Homo-oligomer: A and B are copies of this chain.
């Protein structure tokens, strides 16, 4: 069977209507509401065809039709007009740029917040990954008698700092010396490349003082090799409770439980490193748990380097047009902002 013009028009109308109303769409409603120039009976015939072709589902015999994942895919790829996000929700973006945030984590967090507020879905943001970034500079700063701050600057501009305990009898000069050594050893390497054996070797041959430096080295080692958790921020988790499909408590709970599976979401979000916005609809998702949801995601960068991803998750009945354009804009805005702060 052919997906001719008229079928597409009808399908589009059904999708539009369903995205708006969340109610199965009937032929009569369609004929009345949209000026298609054909009767409900004709629409019925076409709808039967569309169902046969896999674009529509029927919850039960005497209900209207509902778009399938395949229909949404067609919609996202061909039918929808991506709006210009800059004009929409301008106030949010203004707010975003007004607040001057210097720490990368804050910017990321802020982005997640705004994304969830604009889209009304749940936003997910993967924080910058350090393991493959190059260390540019390491410095130990004396903070207190027993505390020092280990500051590691990376080539992507991200700063990682950790407070570490130090023996009381180390002075600033010693810390400075150690900083130089650390730089010699690790500057230019990635976090993954760090070999702590180097450090131990070094400690043995150079610092005769032995036990004195032990605790310091331990702390350093721990900080440098600290297992990086799969960090993912979620915002607006309860947004979906306002959507009609989650008025069913069981469905709402299922969704909220899904959000606890940070690992899954993390994997999902980091597995697509496509350029631009990527949309994964229902059963297209690689994970069974996600088959009732759609995920819209994009990567953000500093310069050319991909740092992490942002995304939103919601029902397959999603406002794709608005969501995709928002995502597109936010990813670009975020990249631009981070690049202006830390790039080069």
Contacts and interface: CB of A to CB of B under 8 A. Distances in A.
Contacts of A252: 241, 249, 252
Contacts of A161: 149, 161
Contact of A137 (B139, B144, B164, B259): B144
Contact of A253 (B100, B102, B237, B241): B241
B159 A151 contact: no
A84 interface: no
Contact of A162 (B103, B143, B149, B341): B103
Contacts of A238: 237, 253, 256-257, 259-260
A42 interface: no
A260 B241 CA distance: 14
Interface string A205-237: 000000000000000001000000000000001
Interface in A318-342: 341-342
State the copy count for this chain: 2
Interface string A250-263: 00110011011000
Majority DSSP secondary structure for residues of A touching B: mixed
Contacts of A139: 141-143
A292 to B, nearest CB: 18
Given A241-B256, A247-B249, A252-B249, A137 B143 contact: yes
A25 to B, nearest CB: 25
A181 interface: no
B162 A151 contact: no
A137 B143 CA distance: 7
A48 interface: no
A321 to B, nearest CB: 27
Nearest to A144: B153
A194 interface: no
Contacts of A127: none
A306 interface: no
Contact of A103 (B102, B163, B165): B163
Given A139-B142, A237-B237, A237-B238, 15 more contacts: A103-B162, A103-B163, A136-B144, A139-B143, A141-B149, A147-B153, A149-B159, A149-B161, A159-B163, A165-B341, A238-B259, A241-B249, A247-B249, A249-B249, A252-B252
19 contacts: A100-B222, A102-B162, A136-B144, A137-B143, A139-B141, A139-B142, A139-B143, A141-B141, A141-B149, A143-B159, A147-B157, A159-B163, A238-B256, A238-B259, A238-B260, A241-B249, A241-B253, A249-B249, A249-B252
